[in-house]
A and B are shown apart, each in its own frame.
Chain A
Amino acid sequence: MKQVKSAVVGIGEVPSGKFPDRSELEAAMIVCREAILDAGLSPRDIDVILPVGALANSHWQVDLVFSRLCEELGMLRSVKMNCQVMAGGATSSSVLTVADALIASSQAKRVLVVHSDAVGSLPKQRGIDLFATTGVSEEWEAPYGHNMNAVGALAAARYMHETGTTEEEMAAVCVSLRKWAELNPHAMYRTPLTIEEVLSSKMIATPLRSRHCNMLADGASAFVVAAAEDAASITDSPVYVRGHGSLVTHYTLSQDTDLAKLGFVEAGRQAYAESGLGPKDIQLASIYDAYPVWPLISLDGLDLCRGERAGAFVAAGETDPGGSLPMTTNGGMLSMGHTAVGGGVAVLVESFRQLMGKAGERQVPNLVNAVETASGGTWMDSHVTILSREAA
């Protein structure tokens, strides 16, 4: 078991969706201010800022790298390091791991992590073409018309082939996430969704229909990580980082030899061991989605379905509000919106929000331990993080 070194002490977020009048800078400023104030800190209490990568606007991305936020937030000559962490969808777990390590090695005391991007405001075809480059080989795969919806489809087809998961069960993932999004004022889609609506929506890339596919969105979120020994003096609701495990299984999807499992078994084993907790101790599963197959692979790999097949478990309503294992309670990228790298950050921030007891109408009662997952590119890696209200 690993000694706990860090805790999250503040969070900030803006609604996801299409907000053409809200710039990436403005959204970043709102969420940083909110996270710092939520922690009861001031900007000059932050000594390291880790702005994560943005995809829609290259000048904004460069601004993030070159300390713009330090200047905007009044952190000049107090922040020691402004350094970007970028691992696509896996940035969430990766940046938390980096922050934890910086604190554990005394290189940082209080780390601000921020994401802000506006991929939802891109013209539709530009969005498709942008994501047809993320984890897609220009020489070997782009010439064959590969694209992000095909990524979700190719993995779904193999997973269904190996596990016997049905189209209805795939659709049930989207429906379960929507039930949570109905309770989330920051979500892009909040109207009820049925299995029939998913299965009668337009075919995009077999077996995926339009309601199986995420929608790109503008969004931003931030959080503050502090040393575990200081956390309780900063806030009365710290969230301790208990364990992490991860494994890179491919760059291009075609090179993964076990697409129906990826690396979640290995990553889960490592995270559980570090945390001293196991599947039975977990009351909330914050699972990176983007397409319905990924939560199923993650739930299976993490042994969270009490021996059942993940598809059957979700279809039985176990992950819904009131179910035995609430899952991705912000609605995930399928209902909250896919804000690029921020889709994963939002899932992570939702885990903190739930553990802090700040999730309002969708608050999971008696919550102590949560698991969070993430993956980047074409699900190149499998990340698992265990978070808790308890330091040990």
Chain B
Amino acid sequence: MTETQRPLPHATAWSAPYWDAARDKRFVIQHCTDCDRPIMYPRRFCPHCLNDTLEFRPSEGRGEIYTMTVQVAGPPSGFGDRLPYVVAVIRLDEGVQLMSNIVGDDRESARIGDRVRVDFETVEDGQTVLPVFRLERG
């Protein structure tokens, strides 16, 4: 049985710099050039002041796990061969949040509040690179 391919992100004009950076293994966060606030996910206009001039700034990609689950069974199409995988909401040190996977052999030992750092995972199509997170231990 061939499994359906996992869904891949389709970049928009305003999110393309985020995905392009990921392909270069750089993590960036969108900021408003007027009110200076960080924005996640990338938006067309600043959701705080509706300014239309936004820019991407480099980020260390560090933060903590706000919540997480280990998906053990019943995944959506395209994820059957990845079980068990960890879906987490990461609260970055910049104060914004995003969803990602916790990866690594120790992923199932992750807990809410654990410190994590960004890493990059090239998916099956070879073109798409997803920011993922690993536990910062020690």
Partner of B72, one of A128, A141, A204, A257: A204
Asked if residues A204 and B73 are in contact (CB atoms below 8 Å), the reply is yes
Assess whether B21 is interfacial by the CB under 8 Å rule. Answer: no
Tell me, yes or no, whether B45 is within 8 Å of chain A by CB. Answer: no
User: Can you list, as one digit per residue, whether each of A61-86 has a CB less than 8 Å from chain B (1) or not (0)?
Assistant: 00000000000000000000000000
The 3 A-B residue pairs with the shortest CB-CB distance, nearest first, are A153-B69, A158-B67, A254-B99
Residue interface bits B104-138, CB-to-A below 8 A is 1, else 0: 00000000110000000001000010100000000
Min CB gap B67→A, angstroms: 4
Q: State whether A147 and B69 are in contact (beta carbons under 8 Å apart), knowing that A138-B7, A161-B112, A254-B98 are contacts in the complex.
A: no
Contact B87 A144 (CB under 8 A): yes
CA distance A202 to B66 in the complex (A): 25
B99/A205 in contact, CB under 8 A:
no
CA distance A125 to B87 in the complex (A): 19
Partner of A145, one of B10, B41, B71, B128: B71
**With A138-B7, A145-B79, A149-B74 in contact, is A157–B99 under 8 Å at CB?**
no
Contact A150 B9 (CB under 8 A): no
Interface residue A137 (Cβ < 8 Å from any Cβ of B): yes
A139-B11, A203-B73 given; A144·B99 CB < 8 A: yes
Interface residue count for A (Cβ, 8 Å)? Answer: 38
Per-residue B-contact encoding for A117-159, CB less than 8 Å = 1, 0 else? 0000000010011001000011111111111011001110110
Interface: A249 (CB within 8 A): no
Known: A147-B75, A147-B76, A158-B112. A142 touches B7 (CB 8 A): yes
A 148-176 contacts with B by CB, 8 A:
149-150, 153-155, 157-158, 161
A254 cross-chain contacts in B, Cβ below 8 A: 89, 97-99
6 contacts between A and B (CB under 8 A): A139-B10, A140-B99, A142-B7, A161-B112, A206-B70, A254-B99
Q: Cα distance A145–B8 when bound, in Å? A: 10
The answer to whether A129 and B87 touch (CB under 8 A), given A139-B15, A141-B99, A161-B112, is no
Asked if residues B71 and A205 are in contact (CB atoms below 8 Å), the reply is: yes
Contact check, B97 vs A129: say whether CB atoms are below 8 A apart: no
Given A144-B100, A206-B69, A257-B97, the answer on whether A157 and B74 have CB atoms closer than 8 Å is no
Cβ of A253 within 8 Å of any chain B Cβ, yes or no, is: yes
Q: Choose one: B15, B40, B74; the contact of A205 (CB below 8 Å).
A: B74
A314 within 8 A of B: no
Which A residues are in CB contact (< 8 Å) with B12?
Answer: 139
Distance in Å: Cβ of B78 to nearest Cβ of chain A: 8
Interface residues of B (CB under 8 A from A): 6-12, 15, 40-41, 66-79, 82, 85, 87, 89, 97-101, 112-113, 123, 128, 130
Q: Tell me whether A154 and B9 are in contact (CB under 8 A).
A: no
Closest-by-CB residue of A relative to B95 is: A257
**Inter-chain contact B72/A252, CB cutoff 8 Å:** no
Which residues of chain A are near B67, meaning CB under 8 Å? 154-155, 157-158, 161, 259
Q: Which residues of B contact A128 (CB under 8 A)?
A: 74-77
Alpha-carbon distance between A138 and B66 when the two chains are bound, in angstroms: 21
Q: Is the CB of B69 within 8 A of A205?
A: yes
Contact A138 B10 (CB under 8 A): yes
A200 interface hit (Cβ, 8 Å): no
Q: With the chains together, A22 CA to B67 CA distance in Å?
A: 41
Chain A residues in 8 Å Cβ range of B69 = 150, 153-154, 157, 205-208
| A129 touching B77, Cβ below 8 Å | yes
Q: Does A233 contact B (CB under 8 A)?
A: no
In the complex, what distance in Å separates the CA atom of A139 from the CA atom of B79?
Answer: 16
- Residues A251-290 near B (CB distance < 8 A): 252-255, 257, 259
Residues of B within 8 A of A138 (CB): 7, 9-10
Give 7 A-B pairs besides A149-B74, A158-B112 with Cβ atoms closer than 8 angstroms. A138-B7, A143-B8, A143-B128, A144-B100, A161-B112, A203-B72, A207-B69
